[in-house]
């Protein structure tokens, strides 16, 4: 036995990357094992319950998982782990949501003891109705989503076989062959989504998640509600819909802080949906305003809690989540699984890069030594303020200036990204560059983004508003001066801003400017975890090498 995999009893899998069979092994374990770390030589995967249930939902059974582990393992696989895998995966599907011709929505079991157990759980009791027989209980239609949440938390995820309504028909034609064609993995993602009915598609930033959404809309041929992160993202979706489908301006509505249009295809922002008046979410009625056949959640990893709650009530509608990472800093990945649906398709970043669909990227952490005065300010700061003090140190500005000026001089469109408004304002003034923050009017944002795309502006300074859903394919350098503590999803999104393939074939460059000997350095390491899992390695350089390259 000389396989590339070491299977350990704590549910971790160690994959030797340089082994001749490493790629074949990785392809076999990817459907059920979650990549945790991927440094140079040995990658670490974990068998989590949620990952195994995702595999079950995608049609993989315990026998396939066990066979893969036995086939590739270098050493004898711990027998207890194999039993554990079989038992965890065996939990999925013992409870099923179905439509009964007489009673409507029901929860049915193949295991009387399991149903008895969950019906005694306090969170489940108010979500079910009368017992029909030993193996079946009525479920009020409006509780379909909340019941799935409760059962997942109880450790007995339900298989949802209750189906979906088609919604009001609205023909949509995808204009393939007219300047673009779907890539093979985009076709596979759409097929996987409709095979399962609802769920999440995970693709790298820049890999064309929007096109997957458009293709799903064309396949559904129904009225569609598209939820996006902000108004600029809504306008970008509108542009894509008009350019790549048969839809006209009159068929597309925008429901945001600026407009309240409901049309056959409606774009709504998460922000407007979570606006409250006297503790009431006045706009959540948008979910029931039309007979939607499809609801698309862009950047589903950012889904706010109120939208989760409304999603729980529309389980009869097809739901498509689009994201580059299902990592949620609030730990609510289980809610995405139960309310949006299981992960239906996932493509590793490096695989898409190897196929030439996203640009190769070099990641560099530039460590800045603070002045004695800055170090003392950091030391004296209160614990809750210490990160901000280190992250916004004045010493960082000269480094950002040197990096950005060198990139622009080399003809590389560059983004400077920061978390704190006063910091990005100071940088914009120092660099003489346009600044985009949450206060920048939508029209001005769009004008500046377009000027950047057209090459009229080579340098933009942006706050966290540029983290998500911003289409700037020309950007080839991103310089991060501060971030949201240890947010892995933010780091991935910021790198994603520069991953569109470059016309001249250049590599993308991502710089993280970090204050040495502060918790800024610690949080930077946390932020990098997700990208490390995807195979990106950060090289570390001293700021002096940037300030004095000779």
CA nearest to 128, candidates 114, 142, 111? 142
State residue 280's pLDDT score: 64
| Stretch among 20-34, 311-325, 491-505 having the lowest mean pLDDT | 491-505
Cβ partners under 8 Å of residue 134, min gap 6: 112, 115
CA distance between the termini of the chain: 52
- Residue 91 pLDDT greater than 70, yes or no: yes
Q: Look at 210 and 310; give whichever has higher pLDDT.
A: 210
Give helix then strand counts, H and E, for the chain.
Answer: 22, 25
* C-alpha span between 399 and 124 (Å, rounded): 56
CA nearest to 224, candidates 164, 172, 187? 172
State residue 468's pLDDT score: 63
State residue 279's pLDDT score: 63
State residue 510's pLDDT score: 87
State residue 282's pLDDT score: 67
State residue 350's pLDDT score: 75
For 541, how many CA atoms within 13 A lie in the half-sphere containing its CB?
18
Mean pLDDT of the chain: 87
Asked, colleague to colleague, whether 184-352 and 359-547 share their fold, the answer is yes
| Stretch among 123-137, 236-250, 505-519 having the lowest mean pLDDT | 505-519
- Residue 119 pLDDT greater than 90, yes or no: yes
State residue 101's pLDDT score: 93
Q: Which two tokens stand for residue 510?
A: 């991502």
Q: What is the pLDDT of residues 41-78, one digit of tens each?
A: 888 899 999 999 989 988 899 999 999 999 999 999 99
Q: Quote the radius of gyration of the chain (alpha carbons, Å).
A: 25
Angle at 52 between CA 72 and CA 469, to 5 degrees: 105
Domain 359-547 of CATH type 3.30.1330.10: no
Q: Look at 486 and 274; give whichever has higher pLDDT.
A: 274
State residue 504's pLDDT score: 72
CATH of domain 184-352: 3.40.50.300
Cα 233 to the center of its chain, rounded Å? 15
| Stretch among 5-9, 11-15, 284-288, 529-533 having the lowest mean pLDDT | 529-533
- CA distances 457 to 190, 285, 424, 442, Å, are 36, 41, 17, 18
State residue 20's pLDDT score: 93
Helix (H) / strand (E) containing 26: helix 22-29
- Residue 84 pLDDT greater than 80, yes or no: yes
What pairing do the DSSP bridges indicate for beta strands 343-346 and 199-202?
parallel
- Residue 550 pLDDT greater than 70, yes or no: no
Q: What is the pLDDT of residues 141-196, one digit of tens each?
A: 889 999 999 999 999 999 999 989 899 999 999 999 888 899 999 999 999 999 88
pLDDT band at 255; cut points 50, 70, 90: confident
- CA distances 23 to 16, 39, 45, 60, 72, Å, are 10, 15, 14, 20, 11
Q: What is the pLDDT of residues 267-289, one digit of tens each?
A: 988 888 777 676 666 677 777 77
Reduce the DSSP state of residue 106 to 3 states and report it: strand
State residue 303's pLDDT score: 80
Q: What is the pLDDT of residues 391-435, one digit of tens each?
A: 899 999 999 999 999 999 999 989 899 888 999 999 999 999 999
Q: What is the pLDDT of residues 339-395, one digit of tens each?
A: 899 888 888 777 888 888 887 788 888 999 999 999 999 889 887 888 889 889 999
State residue 281's pLDDT score: 67
Contact between residue 387 and residue 527 where contact means Cβ atoms under 8 Å apart: no
State residue 1's pLDDT score: 67
* Domain layout of the chain by residue ranges: 5-91, 95-160, 184-352, 359-547
Share of the chain above pLDDT 90, in %: 47
- Residue 13 pLDDT greater than 80, yes or no: yes
State residue 485's pLDDT score: 61
């Amino acid at each position: 036995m000389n396989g590339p995999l070491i299977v350990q009893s704590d549910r971790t899998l160690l994959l030797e990357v340089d082994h001749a069979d490493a790629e074949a092994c990785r392809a076999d374990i990817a459907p059920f094992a979650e990549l945790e770390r991927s440094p140079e030589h040995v990658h670490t995967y974990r068998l989590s319950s949620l990952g195994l249930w995702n595999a079950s939902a995608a049609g993989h059974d315990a026998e396939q998982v066990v066979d893969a582990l036995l086939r590739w393992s270098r050493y004898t696989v711990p027998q207890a782990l194999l039993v554990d895998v079989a038992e965890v995966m065996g939990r999925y599907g013992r409870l099923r949501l179905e439509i009964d011709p007489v009673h409507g929505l029901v929860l049915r079991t193949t295991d009387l003891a399991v149903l008895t157990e969950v019906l005694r759980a306090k969170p489940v009791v108010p979500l079910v109705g009368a017992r029909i027989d030993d193996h079946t209980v009525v479920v009020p239609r409006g509780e379909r989503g909340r019941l799935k949440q409760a059962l997942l938390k109880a450790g007995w995820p339900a298989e949802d076989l209750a189906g979906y309504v088609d919604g009001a028909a609205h023909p949509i034609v995808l204009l393939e062959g007219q300047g673009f064609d779907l890539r093979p993995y985009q076709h596979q993602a759409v097929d996987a989504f409709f095979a399962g009915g609802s769920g999440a598609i995970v693709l790298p930033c820049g890999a064309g998640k929007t096109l997957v959404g458009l293709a799903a809309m064309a396949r559904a041929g129904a009225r569609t509600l598209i939820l996006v992160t902000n108004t600029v993202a809504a306008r970008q979706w509108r542009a894509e819909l008009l350019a790549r489908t048969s839809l006209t301006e009159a068929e597309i509505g925008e429901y945001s802080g600026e407009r309240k249009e409901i049309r056959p295809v409606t774009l709504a922002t998460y922000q407007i949906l979570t606006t409250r008046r006297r503790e009431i979410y006045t706009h959540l009625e948008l979910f029931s305003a039309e007979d939607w056949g499809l609801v698309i959640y862009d950047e589903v990893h950012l889904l706010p809690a109120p939208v989760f709650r409304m999603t729980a009530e529309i389980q009869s509608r097809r739901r498509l989540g689009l994201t580059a990472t299902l990592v949620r800093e609030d730990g609510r990945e289980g809610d995405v699984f139960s309310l949006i649906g299981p992960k239906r398709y996932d493509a590793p970043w490096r695989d898409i890069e190897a196929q030439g669909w996203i640009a190769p990227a070099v990641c560099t952490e530039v460590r800045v030594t603070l002045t004695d005065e800055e170090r003392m300010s950091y030391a004296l700061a209160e614990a809750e303020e210490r990160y901000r003090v280190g992250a916004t140190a004045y010493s960082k500005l000269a480094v950002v200036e040197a990096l950005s000026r060198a990139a622009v001089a080399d003809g590389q469109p560059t983004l400077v990204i920061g978390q704190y408004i006063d910091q990005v304002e100071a940088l914009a003034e120092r660099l003489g560059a346009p600044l985009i923050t949450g206060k920048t009017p939508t029209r001005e944002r769009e004008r500046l983004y377009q000027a950047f795309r057209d090459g009229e502006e080579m340098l933009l300074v942006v706050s966290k508003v540029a983290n998500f859903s911003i289409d700037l394919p020309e950007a080839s350098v991103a310089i991060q001066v501060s971030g949201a503590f240890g947010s892995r999803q933010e780091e991935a999104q910021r790198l994603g801003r520069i991953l569109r393939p470059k016309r001249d074939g250049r590599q993308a460059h991502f710089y993280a400017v970090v204050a040495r000997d502060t918790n800024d350095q610690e949080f930077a390491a946390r932020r990098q975890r997700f990208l490390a899992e995807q195979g990106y390695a950060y090289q570390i350089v001293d700021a002096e090498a940037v300030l004095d390259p000779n």
